[in-house]
Structure 1
Amino acid sequence: MTSRGTAPRSRTAGGTPRTPRLTGVDAARGLALLGMMATHALPTFEADAALTPTWVGLAFSGRAAALFAVLAGVGLALSTGKEQPYAGRELWAARRGVALRALVVAAVGLTLGALEVNIAVILVHYAVLFLCILPFLGLRPGRLFAFATGWLLASPVLAYLLRPWLLAPEPPLQLGHNPGWADLAEPARVAGDLLLTGYYPVVQWLTYLLIGLALGRLPLGRVGLQVSLVAAGTVAAVFAKWFAGVLMEDRGGRAALQAAIGDPDYPLASLLQVNLAGVDQSGSAWWLATAAPHSGTSLDLLHTSGVAAAVLGVCLLLARLADWLELDLLRPLRGAGAMTLSLYTAHVCVMASLHGHPLPSGWSPDGVFWAQALAVLALGWVFATLSWRGPLEWAGHGANLLGRGRTLAGR
């Protein structure tokens, strides 16, 4: 039997054993992918005047994408030394590899930017986050958690102060659409959108990668740590929502924001539950006191990071249980999680093909989502069974090896 919660040891072409893969991390990544797909394919609000939140909006909005980002940091830690971060030449080689892989992700994202689709594609922002995290790859967990804490507290305030300045020019330094190749002709506008004014502002979202990198430097294979992730993550997530509720309801924050908006019929209560992306969060410091999904506040970052840590801990424990039972119950999910770039890209293309067109007779948004979810899990099972990489994962892996001065044959 293999070590708990890990895949069996495999060997390179030269016969050198590889470190076993933490399958629970891949399973958590698969869950993040399915959650993001749900928010893309299913409505997050009911079609009524009050924009009543749906269960999808309440469960997944903000949390799925944040889980995806935290796990990106975990993955970077696992590929750059795990508990013993690389140093010296090995660290610089790893940084070059991550940078080249980020360019592959950015190229895919910029290409998807040409599609007409009602999805905020995360890939270009994701690539920029990879570049921003490079200076931190050699740090140990203590320093990483310190940086993450400071950034969680400071970055929302920095964004609140700088966003109005970036939105003041005409046109504002904001795209209002997914970045594509043509937008590179306006580098200042693209930079403003990616860093502060877009859907996934890198300035605040760097917090997720710092937390993920710190978590990945911990001994994730230990059951005690896995239980601690569930407990600490749950406490952090509940505290953030509770404290935001006190500030918004008991201390008058929501009433102050409603008054600042100036429209008593504006569905602020619903937006605070599901999504503040696209809402002008300026003119009142009370915006910094919410924990609303996609608000990018300290409480939002704390809540979603806590959820991500708890989900990671649960998935690691489930992988341990499946290993103990000698039943690979998570294979479809972990297989999907190991090829999220390919599957996410395919999902965006499918949704783009449906955008602006009536659904085929007999189909509903629920059917569109479940058909894609089942396809994702089936492909995950096949690729995990055959130990294949996804096609875009091959490109990213090749770029990573190139940056490290290796080849596919000599890895």
Structure 2
Amino acid sequence: MLQVTHEIDYKIQLVTTIEQSEDPVAPAHSQASFRTRLQNFGRPPRVMGLDLARGLAILGMVVAHLDMPEEVDLFAPGTWGALANGRSSLLFALLAGISISLMTRGRSRPSAAELPHIRLAMLGRGAFIFAIGLVLELLNTPIAVILTIYGVLYVAAIPFLRWSAGKLLVLSVICAVLGPATLAVLKTVLLEPSAPGVMLTFFGIYSAAAWLALIFAGMAIGQFRLASAATAGKLLAAGMVLAFIGYGAALIPAPGSVTPFLEESFDGEELIGDSSMPMPEYVPAEKLDLGGMYCEGEPGSYVSCVPPEEVPERQSMDEPGLSSDQWPDSSSYDASYFSGIGWAELAQTISPEEIGASAWLAFFSAEPHSGATAEIIGSGGFALIVLGLCLLVAAPLRWIALPVAAMGSMPLTAYCAHLVSYFIAAGPGGMLMSDTALPLTVMALLIGSTLWAIFLGRGPLERLAGLSARAMAGAPNPVQTGNRTTE
């Protein structure tokens, strides 16, 4: 039997890096007593500051889903939850990039021989995450699921695994600066394409331009010494500068020529994503003056009311609607309605000012989920601030941070548990409007994650993701050494 070489051992270690590092308790203590496991939670090779940041990102998304103030008022603590809107998902994207870097290379570049196995493992993990996202979307909650686009971008990062930190940062800047404007102009010129593929990757609430910029930045940061206080300090300082630049740019007034178009765009909320429509305000029915209006809707649902002149001509004022056999024949419609606009009419349909307004918003909107450059830079800076602080305080505040870090050690499980609990409480298509939902959800996630991490280690869905990665990667190929092959 030939001796197994160090290269083979290293390959196997690289393919299963994520399985080894995802156990929140150091491997040497994985079979120890409860007290020992508790004391060794988050010890090397894990970086507890990263787990803490992941936990805060999950908490931020829970707050954004269950406590939805529209704007932050520094003098009203009840509105501080609005800080999580949009920023928590971008923090999650940054941390995803760091995780990819730690899984696939750490601080050393993988060799060409190791890449096929690493890439296949990444593909298997991304496919599993995408599939879990589809299952969550089937629950039909009002929450925009992040896992489908997360799985897609996980795979999109595969070609860049060997890139240096400098190249990745340049690519991140290109995505942040040029990506939003390109997508916004294309959306305007192409008359807002809405096919499922482009909605998932480009024009959905989680914009590919924003996420790729943060993922590439995270992949670069993952090559630094994250356990170093100096690195944490640099991330904190860089985050402050970027937040100042991004949110400061959003205050620049728009040129007069594009202002009318900006007023029709919900303050930038429909720039790229279509899922940031402001929530309706609930008021007592007796305060509404609906005299002379015509309304439609179902009991227990939203009611839409319009003045008489806006009621479709084909519908009688005395009837709630027409059955399908009463609809007019399609031949009665103008053929141009079905033929679209085409190249000849495009110039008359879209003005240069409208294109300019799209480009302006793509650069200078900082609205949550707008996917604009200002939001990417500003909220990306916010994410760096959170990451830097977590890396600095995780050790000195270890016992205080432990429950949040435990949840961050199993982010996929915690996120899915939150959405499933929302579905159970609200039902299909239901909106959870409860004052106790937020504290109960947070308490359950913190307690459940802590107990699971201490007693059982890695989260259940993290284990399945690891199995998917190993199944896709298979065993590493033999290493050629001279004229002999080691197996």
Same fold (TM over 0.5): yes
1:183 maps to what in 2? none
Q: Deviations over 1:327-370 (max 9, x none)?
A: 533221111111111121121122223156587xxxx6331011
Which residue, 130, 138, 141 being the options, matches 1:114? 138
Could you say which residue in structure 2 is the equivalent of 1:143?
167
Richer in helix (by share): 1
CA deviations 1:91-115 (Å, max 9, x no partner) are 2211111110111111111111212
Cα distance in 1, alignment partners of residues 188 and 423 from structure 2:
32
- The amino acid that maps onto 1:71 is L
Distance 1:86 1:144, change over 3 A: same
1:303 matched to 2:328: no
- 1:374 counterpart letter in structure 2: M
Letter in 1 for 2:201: L
Q: Structure 1's 142 and 32: CA in aligned 2 closer, same or farther, altered over 3 A?
A: same
Q: Which residue of 1 aligns with 2:27?
A: 10
Which digits, 9 at most, give the CA deviation of each residue in 1:47-81, with x for residues without a partner?
Answer: xxxxx997256311110000011100011111112
How far apart are 1:167 and its partner, in Å? 4.6
Q: Could you tell me whether the CA contact under 8 Å between 1:43 and 1:56 is conserved in 2?
A: no
Cα-to-partner distance string for 1:115-174 (whole Å, 9 max, x where unaligned)? 221110111000001011111111121111111112211111221122235555xxx42x
Q: Aligned-pair distance for 1:20?
A: 0.8
Measured at CA, do residues 352 and 282 of structure 1 come closer, stay the same or move farther in structure 2, by a change above 3 Å?
farther
C-alpha displacement at 1:9, in angstroms?
Answer: 4.0
1:11-410 mapped onto 2 (5 Å cutoff): 11=28, 20-45=45-70, 55-56=79-80, 58-165=82-189, 167-168=191-192, 172-173=193-194, 189-245=195-251, 247=252, 251-252=253-254, 259-260=260-261, 268=267, 277-278=275-276, 283=355, 284=357, 285-288=359-362, 289-322=364-397, 327-353=398-424, 354-355=426-427, 365-405=434-474
Give the 3 Å change call, closer, same or farther, for CA 347–297 of structure 1 in structure 2. same
TM-fit CA distance, 1:87:
2.1
CA contact 1:230–1:314 (8 Å) conserved in 2: yes
Q: Which whole-Å CA distance do the structure 1 matches of 2:77 and 2:50 have between them?
A: 30
1:31: how far off?
A: 0.3
**Preserved CA contact (<8 Å) 1:226 1:317:** yes
1:241-261 deviations in whole A, cap 9, x for unaligned?
11221x1xxx335x7665225
**Is the partner of 2:444 in helix, strand or coil?**
helix
User: Aligned pair in 2 of structure 1 residues 348, 243: CA closer, same or farther (>3 Å)?
Assistant: same
CA RMSD of aligned residues (A): 3.1
Q: Radius of gyration: which is bigger?
A: 2
Q: What is the total number of aligned residue pairs between the two structures? A: 357
* Mapped partners of 1:122, 1:256: distance in 2: 36
> TM-score scaled to structure 2, two decimals?
0.67
Post-superposition CA distance 1:13-68 (Å, at most 9, x none): 9xxxx96111110110010000001111112338xxxxx99725631111000001
Partner of 1:388, secondary structure, is coil
Q: Which amino acid aligns with 2:451?
A: V
1-structure distance, mates of 2:431, 2:135: 25
Task: State the 1:262 CA deviation.
Answer: 5.6
Conserved in 2, the CA contact under 8 Å of 1:94 and 1:403?
no
Deviation >6 Å, runs of 4+? none
Letter of the structure 2 residue corresponding to residue 369 of structure 1: L
Distance 2:465 2:248 in 1: 41
Query: Which blocks of at least 5 consecutive residues in structure 1 are unaligned?
Result: 1-5, 47-51, 174-188
User: Helix, strand or coil for the counterpart of 1:240?
Assistant: helix
Distance in structure 2 (CA, Å) of the matches to 1:167 and 1:151: 23
Counterpart for residue 283 of structure 2: none
| TM-score when normalising by structure 1 | 0.79
Which residue of the partner structure matches residue 325 of structure 2? none
**How far did 1:12 drift?**
10
**Contact 1:258–1:268 (8 Å) recurs in 2:** no
Shift of 1:82: 1.3
Distance 1:60 1:141 in 2: 28
Distance 2:82 2:60 in 1: 11
Identity %: 29
Contact 2:102 2:222 in 1 (8 A): yes
Determine helix, strand or coil for the equivalent of 1:330.
Answer: helix
